[in-house]
Structure 1
Amino acid sequence: MIEIATKEGWREHVDTVYERPAPITLKDLRALSFGDRALYNQARARYSQAGAFVRTPQFQVFQNAVRDRVMLNTYRRVGKLGLILSGEPGQGKTTSLVEVGRAHERRRRDTGHPAAGPGKIPVVYVAVPAQCSAKALMHEFARFLGIPVLGRMTYGNLLDAVANALRRCATELVLIDDVHHLDLKYRQNIEASDMLKQLSERCGGTFVYAGIAVEGTGLLDGERGGQIGKRFEVHVAVPFPLNTADEKARWGDLLLAMESSLCLVEQRPGSILPAALSLHSLTGGEIGLLKDLLQFAALRAMEDETETLDLSEFERELRRRQAAAAMYAKPRRSRTPVGSA
């Protein structure tokens, strides 16, 4: 497992590319030895889980917004612009945040940009610990950057060290995950929030936050929140709706992309579409739940050698859930106590 909260781990994550396994026929698959087939199945599962990334319309809008702010902030001295990606669990916030950073760094490398030169760190990723103080959050930055933290270092010393390192390393993008942990009901979290603002003004990077229901944490409320609200654009990750023709088409496009990423030998492109309504009902349109559901189904198809999704399995699961919901919703009849008149 790659630890992306250090510069070495992040660099390994950016460097790692999981190629799509070469397609083979069912006959050739069955002719493989037990060991070779296990390796082929492992490569397919790895590609589906970590190699294939589905660029949804929501993600494209978010990625474009990040790109624009990185460009504008290059020429700003104060009042840096940022972004907040908010939403409920299962909407792919962390995945989107990490993919935006990975794509940005790979683009810088491919174009020979100075920010990706020797000794430079174009992207920094930090996850906010629960009940985080300003100094504890600064420690997370120091851990990523590899800055030694001495016991006698004050908050001001740490802030100077981190800000100087970000400037020297030409960091363009600072990704702050789990920002919902900065619930401003707690004093120490207010200090950590203020620290992020100070840090953003002292280095050249664009700050992008991601977290669960960030609008309810107080981060955007009051005088402090007013400043953030004016400079940070909020993007809300929501489940895929299924009301209009366009929404149904987008859901279908997502299913086709997911279907392709599974690399099942006998899965004909588009054969997943008859299960579109069932899959939406089972997942509520949440991309995280959909991905998990399809990947488990794909693993079963590999194990039983059918190599195609069993759409009837989704129908059965949907009926089972509907029956269970109906049973719990049915009012229970009250019983008359024994011996009562």
Structure 2
Amino acid sequence: MIEITTKEGWRDHVNTVHERPAPITLQELRTMSFGDRALYNQGRAQYSQAGAFVRTPQFEAFQRAVRDRVMLNAYRRVGKLGLILSGEPGQGKTTSLVEIGKAHERRRREVGHPAAGRGKIPVVYVAVPAQCSAKALMHEFARFLGLPVLHRMTYGDLLEVVANALRRCSTELVLIDDVHHLDLKYRQNIEASDMLKQLSERCGGTFVYAGIAVEGTGLLDGQRGGQIGKRFEVHVAVPFPLDSTEEKARWGDLLLAMENSLCLADQRPGSILSAAVTLHALTGGEIGLLKDLLQFAALRAIEDGTETLDLKVFEHDLRRRQTAAALRPETPRQSRKRVIAR
């Protein structure tokens, strides 16, 4: 498994490309030798899990916003602009953050940009540990960059070393994941939040945060939050709705892209659309839950040799869930709500 919180791991992640296996018929798959079929299945699993990425309208809007700010911040001395990707678990925030960083670095390499030259680090990825102090967060930056950290080094020393390294390495994009761990009810987290602002002003990179319900952490509240709120645009990752015709079309596009990524030999393209409403009810429109649900179903189809999604299983799962919900005892709060509604 590639660890992307070090520059070596991140570089391996950017370099790794999982190509889609060549499509074959069910008959061709069945005539393969055991070893060849095992290799083909491994290639399908790698592509489905790590190679395929579905570009949703939400992702594309966020990626455009990142590109705009990278361009503008390159010419700003102070008041750099940033972005925050917020949302509940299962909305693909980390996946989106990492994909944006990977796409940015690959784009820089392809055009021969100086930021991707020898000894440069165009993208830095850091995950915020729980209950993180400013010094501990500086250690995470130093760990990614491979900087030696001495015990006698103060917070100020670390800030200076990290900021200098980011400038020398021409870092353009600083991705900070799990920023919800910076809950400002705790003093050490306030210090860490202030440190990020200082670091942003002292290096040329565009800072992009991602976390769970960031709006409720206090990061955007008060005097400190006022500055962040003015300079950082908040994008909220939400489940796919299914109300309007346009929203149903977007959900259908997502299902078609997911279906294609599974690489099943006997899956008729577009057949998944007949289960669109069922799949939305099962997942609540959450892309993470949908991906897991379909990949487990694809695994069963590969193992039993059918090589096609059993859509009836989804309907059965939904009926079973609905029955269980109907038999579940009412909580006192639900009972009071029902009485009030009368």
TM-score category (smaller protein): over 0.9
Residue 60 of structure 2 is matched in structure 1 by: 60
Rounded Cα–Cα distance in structure 1 between residues aligned with 2:279 and 2:42: 25
Rounded Cα–Cα distance in structure 1 between residues aligned with 2:90 and 2:72: 31
Residue 196 of structure 1 is matched in structure 2 by: 196
Encode CA deviations 1:198-218: one digit per residue, 9 max, x unaligned.
000000000000000000000
Unaligned runs of 5+ in 1: 332-341
Residue 307 of structure 2 is matched in structure 1 by: 307
Encode CA deviations 1:167-224: one digit per residue, 9 max, x unaligned.
0000000000000000000000000000000000000000000000000000000000
Rounded Cα–Cα distance in structure 1 between residues aligned with 2:170 and 2:101: 14
Rounded Cα–Cα distance in structure 2 between residues aligned with 1:118 and 1:45: 33
Rounded Cα–Cα distance in structure 2 between residues aligned with 1:35 and 1:20: 19
For 1:279, the aligned partner's letter is L
Q: 1:330: how far off?
A: 6.7
Rounded Cα–Cα distance in structure 2 between residues aligned with 1:213 and 1:136: 23
For 1:261, the aligned partner's letter is S
Unaligned runs of 5+ in 2: 332-342
Q: Provide the identity percentage.
A: 85
Rounded Cα–Cα distance in structure 2 between residues aligned with 1:202 and 1:283: 43
Q: Secondary structure at the residue paired with 1:196?
A: helix
For 1:230, the aligned partner's letter is K
Q: Secondary structure at the residue paired with 2:175?
A: strand
TM-score (ref. length: structure 1): 0.96
TM-score (ref. length: structure 2): 0.96
Cα RMSD after superposing both structures:
1.0
Q: 1:33: how far off?
A: 1.4
For 1:141, the aligned partner's letter is F
Residue 185 of structure 1 is matched in structure 2 by: 185
Rounded Cα–Cα distance in structure 2 between residues aligned with 1:30 and 1:330: 51
Q: Secondary structure at the residue paired with 2:126?
A: strand
Residue 336 of structure 2 is matched in structure 1 by: none
- Matched ranges for 1:1-341 at <5 A: 1-329=1-329
Aligned residues, how many?
A: 332
Q: 1:329: how far off?
A: 4.7
Rounded Cα–Cα distance in structure 1 between residues aligned with 2:302 and 2:165: 48
Rounded Cα–Cα distance in structure 1 between residues aligned with 2:296 and 2:15: 27
For 2:48, the aligned partner's letter is S
Q: Secondary structure at the residue paired with 1:289?
A: helix
Q: 1:28: how far off?
A: 1.1
Rounded Cα–Cα distance in structure 1 between residues aligned with 2:8 and 2:138: 18
Rounded Cα–Cα distance in structure 2 between residues aligned with 1:88 and 1:75: 34
Rounded Cα–Cα distance in structure 2 between residues aligned with 1:252 and 1:329: 35
Rounded Cα–Cα distance in structure 2 between residues aligned with 1:94 and 1:322: 31
